[in-house]
Amino acid sequence: MDTQWPRYEVFEKERPDWPHRNAGSVHAPDAEMALENARDVFVRRPHCLSLWVAPASEIFSMTAEQLAGFDWRSVPAGPDSEPYLVFQKQTQRAAETFVVHVGEVEARSHAEAMSHAVEKFGSGGVFVWWVCPARAVTRSEESDVSAMFAPSESKPYRQPHFYKVIAQLREIKSKASE
Partner 1 sequence: MNSAALAAKLLALADDEYILGHRDAEWTGHAPILEEDIAFANIAQDEIGHAVLWYNALKDLNGDDPDRLVFFRESSGWRNAQFVELPKGDWAFTMVRQYLFDAAELVRLAETVNSAHRAVAEVSEKIRPEEMYHYRHTSNWVKRLGLGTEESHRRMQAALDSLWPRALQLFAPLPNEDELIAAGIFPAPDKLRAAWEGATRSWLTDSGLTIPTITASAADREQHTEHLAALLAEMQEVARLEPPDVKW
The distance of closest approach from Cβ of residue 177 to partner 1 in the complex, given in angstroms and rounded to an integer, is 25
Q: Which helix (H) or strand (E) holds 11?
A: strand 7-13
Instruction: Based on the shown chain and the rule CB under 8 A, indicate whether residue 48 belongs to the binding site for partner 1.
Output: no
Q: Give the separation between CA 52 and CA 39, rounded to whole angstroms.
A: 10
State which residue, 150 or 172, has the beta carbon closest to partner 1: 150
Query: Which of these ranges, 13-21, 40-48, 57-65, 89-97, lies near partner 1 under the rule CB under 8 A?
Result: 40-48
Q: Give the separation between CA 99 and CA 28, rounded to whole angstroms.
A: 21
Q: Which helix (H) or strand (E) holds 84?
A: strand 82-89
The distance of closest approach from Cβ of residue 78 to partner 1 in the complex, given in angstroms and rounded to an integer, is 31
Q: Give the separation between CA 61 and CA 59, rounded to whole angstroms.
A: 6
**Three-class secondary structure of residue 161 per DSSP:** helix
Instruction: Based on the shown chain and the rule CB under 8 A, indicate whether residue 56 belongs to the binding site for partner 1.
Output: no
Site residues for partner 1, 141-160, by CB under 8 A, read 146-148, 150-151, 154-155
Q: Give the separation between CA 144 and CA 63, rounded to whole angstroms.
A: 35
Instruction: Based on the shown chain and the rule CB under 8 A, indicate whether residue 5 belongs to the binding site for partner 1.
Output: yes
State which residue, 32 or 82, has the beta carbon closest to partner 1: 32
Instruction: Based on the shown chain and the rule CB under 8 A, indicate whether residue 120 belongs to the binding site for partner 1.
Output: no
State which residue, 42 or 127, has the beta carbon closest to partner 1: 42
Q: Give the separation between CA 126 and CA 91, rounded to whole angstroms.
A: 7
Tell me the chain's radius of gyration from C-alpha atoms: 20
Contact of 85 with 121, CB cutoff 8 Å: no
Instruction: Based on the shown chain and the rule CB under 8 A, indicate whether residue 164 belongs to the binding site for partner 1.
Output: no
Residues 6+ apart with CB under 8 A from 95: none
The distance of closest approach from Cβ of residue 169 to partner 1 in the complex, given in angstroms and rounded to an integer, is 18
State which residue, 103 or 145, has the beta carbon closest to partner 1: 145
The distance of closest approach from Cβ of residue 109 to partner 1 in the complex, given in angstroms and rounded to an integer, is 31
What is the binding site for partner 1 (CB under 8 A)? 5, 26-30, 32-33, 36-37, 39-41, 44, 146-148, 150-151, 154-155
